[in-house]
Structure 1
Amino acid sequence: MPGESSGVGPVLKKFDGVSRIAVLRGGGLGDLMFALPAVAALKSAYPGATVTLLGTPLHAALAGEVETPLDEVRVLPFAEGVRPPGPDEAEDPAELDRFFADMQSRQFDLAVQLHGGGRFSNPFLHRLGARHTIGARTPDAAPLDRSLPYVYYQHEVLRALEIVGLAGAAPVGVECRLRPLPRFVDDVQGIPGSGVPVVTIHPGATDPRRRWPVECFGELAAKAVDDGCRVLVVGGAEDAPSATSVVELARQQAGPERSSMVGSLAGQLSLGQLAALLAGSSVVVANDSGPRHLAQFLGTPTVGIYWAGNVINAGPLGRMRHRIHISWQTRCGVCGADVSQVGWTAPRCPHDETLVGSVAVKDVYADVAELVASTHAHQT
């Protein structure tokens, strides 16, 4: 495919007359973070064009509470493979028809598919009625005007940047710096306490296999408290039981005189408040999860616990401010299934046992302590 190289992929000729761009990317917080550098590249290549993200309610909530390069977020209707309905939800053909009628009335000049290999997302993209379409595709997916092969093991940020290169958008960065809105900074200002390093922990992850055991997080939290840090455990309402366990374990190990230095805010913060808290933390310790990715894009140092395959697709690219600890386990501990075969290449085994339990607390905490010392020195 002709075109200049960006170092990520080819940068082809720009499309003419592009003033309205739609970007399709469902999923969670991390999925949005991965798409934002590509959005920034599009904004640079097509100055003055508006970018509408077709995403999830979570994306819309975050975009309303954090400064991003997006102009608008439209929430996707339930649709197989794009925004799958939950157990008590269902696709509504009439709602889908209304959504596509609204999108077609906007007369998008360019529609960008950043949502997987295209089996479901490419036909969805076509129904938007845009003049031009680009994206990734597996061999059996519907063609687009310009596309590149979808290979599962590729970093999601680089995949998205390679895709927008098809529209002539060269990368302007591999991270897109986000900022919490001032009102949310004010909301959380008094939570950590002044003059004390803050270690924020997120023990959750969408896939249970990516979760470090709560006992490990509890031990790490106790070490941080013993070293004079304030430890805050965050997450959504679904993370509250794990967060409570982490706090209880840390308090047992740290002793009653330090028990007030660790607490849970899981389920208590809006996304804007969470972003402000993450931005003000000395370091964030988490699994491969949305809050870890959000912390990175807010500029906060992170220590992440990763299964090896997820490092390829979702690990931070730098190591000065973002440390990773990798589990190299490649088979399910229950049935022996090869867990490195992922995506559409093999069905997922039914077991949810952690794949990252072998990561040692002492190794993770060594990085936490180093980053806390470095960050706190700059904050005081």
Structure 2
Amino acid sequence: MGSETRAEFGGSAEQSRLVGPVLERFRNVRRIAVLRGGGLGDLMFALPAVEALRATYPEAAITLLGTPLSAALLKDRPGPISRAEILPYAEGVRPGVPDAAAVEEFFTGMVREKFDLAVQLHGGGRNSNPFLLRLEARHTVGSRTADAAALERTIPYVYYQHEVFRALEVVGLAGAEPQSLEPRLEVTPEETAAATERLGGTAPLVGIHPGATDPRRRWPASSFAAVAALAAGDGSRVVVVGDDGDAAAADEIVRLALASAPGTDIRSLAGKLSLGELTGVLEACAVLVGNDSGPRHLAQAVGTPTVGIYWIGNVINAGALGRTLHRVHLSWVTVCPVCGVDVTQVGWTAERCEHDDSLVHAVRPADVYEDVRELTATSLLLRGR
């Protein structure tokens, strides 16, 4: 390891056998803050890193600085995170109209916590590193682009890297060795009971989630409907899930699927489930089919097999690592189908074009259903049914 890299890391390093260098642990760490905003998937990507911190600093209280969604999901849930604090609206940290008074109130309260270690798992650091530094923690670690503020120990932010590995490399700077490479989330008995009441029935349950934050990551409703019809025709129950924004697509999927498989059990619960109920429903599924989206990542975290529809760039950053329980179907499109602009640089070094046409529309429903069928059987075997 060269002298420049050692200086960047801020100390000597031992090479981890799993991912990245692991540096010397900090001493007397009793309070840890972890900055990770974003959606459900972003939180799931951070969980293995938080597990590593918990194992390394077992006496420390770990506070997640996140979104209302994260706070709601983690409330009263067993796991490595002690509590969640909701971030104020701030540029590049939590989207919304910034409120200077709320930001100052947030930092006043957080500085009083006297964090020993603050961990930045929120991107390249242009906005998140200055935000983290305002916590006034004794030690800081994170990733950074060349133009981002420096922390005590940093790794370079390289866009095309799996987010789980990126987060694990960051906490390795604090001496934390990986405990797992996949997110894990414990489902509560109340969530399981709520899902059972919602769902009824005993046939295998195939879940479908048609949403994604970026519309270019969305597989067409007609393709999801074809999979739903095939699953229902083979005797499975099918449930489409999502938030209010997914309800129209979910209704279209149900309509098209029932037209192909009349009299079967295909329905939508999109926009009708609380976050806890969604968690329980995802656990109840034999398999979930979805785009690169939060519910797919949440399903994986609660132990449900998944079939994901991915654009090739997204699978690098967010695809499931294993293939025994998780399958991915890739679109190899590299240019916008409308204007021809190179989409492989979007979010990294180039501005996004204005077109929202799907980059994954060419993925074939018959191929997806083959994995659904196989994983349904695998899931039932693992669950002793």
Q: Map of 1:141-152 to 2, 5 A cutoff? A: 141-152=148-159
Matches of 1:224 and 1:195, distance apart in 2: 15
For residues 332-372 of structure 1, what are the alpha-carbon distances to aligned partners after superposition, in whole Å with 9 as ceiling and x for unaligned?
Answer: 11111100002230001111110000100010000000111
Q: Which moved more, 1:279-288 or 1:65-74?
A: 65-74
Q: Alignment partner for residue 230 of structure 1, among 231, 237, 241?
A: 237
Matches of 2:31 and 2:102, distance apart in 1: 23
Matches of 1:107 and 1:307, distance apart in 2: 42
Matches of 2:76 and 2:307, distance apart in 1: 25
Matches of 2:78 and 2:260, distance apart in 1: 39
Residue 47 (structure 1) aligned with residue 47 (structure 2): no
Matches of 1:103 and 1:208, distance apart in 2: 36
In the TM superposition, residue 194 of structure 1 has moved relative to its aligned partner by: 3.5
For residues 11-35 of structure 1, what are the alpha-carbon distances to aligned partners after superposition, in whole Å with 9 as ceiling and x for unaligned?
Answer: 1001111000000011000000000
- Whichever residue aligns with residue 170 of structure 1, its letter is E
Q: Alignment partner for residue 201 of structure 1, among 201, 208, 215?
A: 208
Residue 38 (structure 1) aligned with residue 45 (structure 2): no
For residues 121-176 of structure 1, what are the alpha-carbon distances to aligned partners after superposition, in whole Å with 9 as ceiling and x for unaligned?
Answer: 00000101101110000011000000010000000000000000000001011123
- Whichever residue aligns with residue 247 of structure 1, its letter is V
- SS, match of residue 140 in structure 2: strand
Partner of 1:126: 133
For residues 165-190 of structure 1, what are the alpha-carbon distances to aligned partners after superposition, in whole Å with 9 as ceiling and x for unaligned?
Answer: 00000101112321221112111113
Residue 334 (structure 1) aligned with residue 345 (structure 2): no
Residue 20 (structure 1) aligned with residue 31 (structure 2): yes
Residue 248 (structure 1) aligned with residue 258 (structure 2): no
Partner of 1:320: 324
Matches of 1:222 and 1:372, distance apart in 2: 15
Partner of 2:121: 114
Q: Relative to 1, partners in 2 of residues 1:163 and 1:378: Cα closer, same or farther, differing over 3 Å? A: closer
Matches of 1:23 and 1:354, distance apart in 2: 34
Q: Alignment partner for residue 5 of structure 1, among 5, 15, 19?
A: 15
Aligned length: 373
Kept after mapping to 1: 8 A contact 2:207/2:287: yes
Matches of 2:198 and 2:107, distance apart in 1: 44
Q: Alignment partner for residue 262 of structure 1, among 260, 266, 284?
A: 266
Matches of 1:138 and 1:53, distance apart in 2: 23
Partner of 2:144: 137
Matches of 1:177 and 1:74, distance apart in 2: 21
Q: Alignment partner for residue 173 of structure 2, among 166, 190, 193?
A: 166
Partner of 1:216: 223
Matches of 1:68 and 1:352, distance apart in 2: 38
Matches of 2:93 and 2:147, distance apart in 1: 17
* Percent of residue pairs identical: 59
Question: Normalising to structure 1: TM-score of the pair?
Answer: 0.96
In the TM superposition, residue 275 of structure 1 has moved relative to its aligned partner by: 0.7
Q: Alignment partner for residue 350 of structure 2, among 346, 350, 355?
A: 346
For residues 76-131 of structure 1, what are the alpha-carbon distances to aligned partners after superposition, in whole Å with 9 as ceiling and x for unaligned?
Answer: 0000011121xxxx111111000000000000000000001100000000101101
- Root mean square deviation, CA, Å: 1.0
Q: Relative to 1, partners in 2 of residues 1:348 and 1:60: Cα closer, same or farther, differing over 3 Å? A: same
Residue 295 (structure 1) aligned with residue 305 (structure 2): no
- Whichever residue aligns with residue 348 of structure 2, its letter is W
In the TM superposition, residue 374 of structure 1 has moved relative to its aligned partner by: 1.9
Q: Relative to 1, partners in 2 of residues 1:369 and 1:354: Cα closer, same or farther, differing over 3 Å? A: same
In the TM superposition, residue 251 of structure 1 has moved relative to its aligned partner by: 0.5
Residue 93 (structure 1) aligned with residue 82 (structure 2): no
- Regions of 4+ moved over 4 Å: none
